[in-house]
């Protein structure tokens, strides 16, 4: 991927208010960024599978909530594990949670699919830290 091409930003969180906050923070911090938010984890997973499996090489940063009623973030990760390596290579996952439970943080850091753990709410500084990882990824 050519330097200077932004990744897509994805947010899977059952809280529409948090999704709006994330969308605004991302767009105000990284000009020109594409942001998609999902309150339904299954819909978010389908979007990822459909858009990153046979794509043009576009990459994405996913902010994934842990505690959701229909499917937890851990459930999403289990389903994501079944995706092709092409998808896994194109999507960097950051757990985005209000949980400061050391067990959640340890579980996330021990999962090879998880790039980082971000406590809610997303801020400019937290986003820039995740984006630094993206720059190293290219």
What are the domain boundaries of the chain? 8-137
- Would the CA dihedral through 57, 78, 12, 132 be positive or negative? negative
> Which residue in the block uniquely carries the two structure tokens 């209000």?
98
Q: Both tokens of residue 29?
A: 């911090």
For residue 135, the tally of other CB atoms under 10 A from its CB is 9
Exposed/middle/buried for residue 16 (C-beta within 10 Å: 0-12, 13-18, 19+): exposed
Residue 133's pLDDT band, with cuts at 50, 70 and 90, is low
Omega before 77 cis (within 30°)?
no
- Euclidean distance between CA atoms 16 and 65, whole angstroms: 12
Model confidence over 101-127: pLDDT tens digits? 899 999 999 999 999 899 898 999 888
Separation in Å, CA 14 to CA 31, 39, 50, 89: 25, 4, 21, 25
Residue 131's pLDDT band, with cuts at 50, 70 and 90, is confident
Model confidence over 5-51: pLDDT tens digits? 788 999 999 999 999 999 999 999 888 889 999 999 999 999 999 99
* 8-137 topology per CATH: Rossmann fold (3.40.50)
- Euclidean distance between CA atoms 104 and 109, whole angstroms: 9
- Euclidean distance between CA atoms 69 and 56, whole angstroms: 33
pLDDT at 1 over 50: no
Residues 6+ apart with CB under 8 A from 30: 6, 9, 127, 131
């Amino acid at each position: 991927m050519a330097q200077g091409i932004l990744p897509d930003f994805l947010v899977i969180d059952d809280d529409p208010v948090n999704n709006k906050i994330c969308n605004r923070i991302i767009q105000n911090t990284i000009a020109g960024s594409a942001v998609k938010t999902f309150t339904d984890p299954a819909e978010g997973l389908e979007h990822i599978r459909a858009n990153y499996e046979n794509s043009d090489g576009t990459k994405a940063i996913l902010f994934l909530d842990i505690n959701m009623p229909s499917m937890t973030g851990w459930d999403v990760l289990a389903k994501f594990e079944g995706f092709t390596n092409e998808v896994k290579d194109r999507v960097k996952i950051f757990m985005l949670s209000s949980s400061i439970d050391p067990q959640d943080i340890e579980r996330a850091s021990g999962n090879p699919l998880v790039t980082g753990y971000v406590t809610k709410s997303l801020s400019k500084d937290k986003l820039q830290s995740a984006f630094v990882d993206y720059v190293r990824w290219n």
